[in-house]
Amino acid sequence: MRTRYTPGPWKMEIYLNEKDMKLPPHIVGLGDNHQVADCCGADDADMANGRLIAAAPELLAACEAAIVALAENPPGRSLSEANLKAANMCRTARDKAHEP
């Protein structure tokens, strides 16, 4: 059984404290504003992590679409090593997203 998660899309929200200092990024689902994740700091790396987390639903969908496209066998031709490798990388990422 696949683990359920907040459906995408997600967005990153950044709040400021009373001194106008950035607080750690907060990731929420757009459909229901459900909290998905919080990063633990507010430096450039944490902001980059927040953007990556917010893009996760789209990245998962891209992996699933790429698996289909890369694994298609053109008529009369075999799959290239590059396509096989890319499809396997996408499968690994997709499976990691669905681990319990």
pLDDT in tens, 12-42: 999 899 999 888 888 998 877 788 888 888 8
Output the pTM of the full model. Answer: 0.79
pLDDT digits (tens, 9 = 90+) for 40-94: 888 889 899 999 999 999 999 999 999 998 888 777 778 889 988 999 999 999 9
CA distances from 80 to 67, 72, 89 (A): 14, 11, 14
Domain boundaries, the chain: 1-54, 56-100
- All residues at 6 or more sequence positions from 26 whose CB lies less than 8 Å from its CB, including other chains: 12, 13, 14, 15, 35, 37, 38, 39, 50
* Separation between Cα atoms, residue 14 and residue 1, nearest integer Å: 34
